[in-house]
Amino acid sequence: MRHSPSSQDRPAKKMPAGEAEGPVFPRLLYSRSPEETQAIARELAGHLRGDETVFLIGELGAGKTVFTKGLAAGLGFEDVHQVCSPTFTLMNVYPARVPIYHFDLYRLSGWDDVIDLGFEDYLAEGVVVVEWAEKIAFPIEAIVVVITVEADDRRRIEMTRPGARGDRPFQGGRPT
């Protein structure tokens, strides 16, 4: 029998529609399943204007693509089964309420490779989601989502945004 999770373990509740302030950063949430991870991402998506960049950081299998599925669902993309890691294609585009540009930098070696993809052309044209963002030092502001697999297989999901309530700027690698 599964124990009743504490408030720290529960995905955040959706804020009322029209809430101008959006989520408070930093945020620390826990997920015990892919469905809970997607629910956390859907809640975040409900606060996005449509011109943000989201950096996803975590080891292989941590849940970066699962988180992206939740963002896509929250932004109105109807078939989240189509959301997959663009490891070999490097970028996928999902039509939603605003376009979602999903990048995977796992195979890239530096900023020049990112520029060659035309990455800068997509900024502020939709929601840009970047898996393996820690591989490159980005000179842009983004929501940073660090997903850590804990010993009991739950996911620790830490969300920060530079400039929000004293968050540290992101300079590639990990939040500084």
pLDDT above 80 for 173: no
Top-level class of domain 27-140+155-160: alpha beta
Mean pLDDT, residues 66-88: 94
Q: Is the pLDDT of residue 47 over 70?
A: yes
| Beta strand spans in the chain (E) | 27-31, 53-57, 91-94, 100-104, 127-131, 143-149, 155-160
What pLDDT score was predicted for residue 125? 94
Spatial CA neighbour of 125 closest among 144, 99, 102: 99
Q: Which DSSP helix (H) or strand (E) runs through 121? A: helix 119-122
Q: The pTM is what? A: 0.80
Which residues, other chains included, contact 120 with Cβ-Cβ below 8 Å and sequence gap of 6+? none
Which residues, at least 6 apart from 44, have a Cβ–Cβ distance to it below 8 Å?
Answer: 23, 54, 70, 71, 74, 143, 159
Q: Say whether the peptide bond before residue 139 is cis (omega within 30 degrees of 0).
A: no
Nearest to 96 by CA among 118, 119, 80, 81: 80
Encode burial over 100-124: b for 16+ CB neighbours within 10 A, e otherwise. Answer: bbbbbbeebeeeeebeeeebeebee
Please state, rounded to an integer, the average pLDDT across all residues of the chain. 83
Q: What is the pLDDT of residues 125-135, one digit of tens each?
A: 999 999 999 98
Q: Where are the chain's structural domains?
A: 27-140+155-160
Burial of 26 (0-12, 13-18, 19+ CB in 10 A): middle
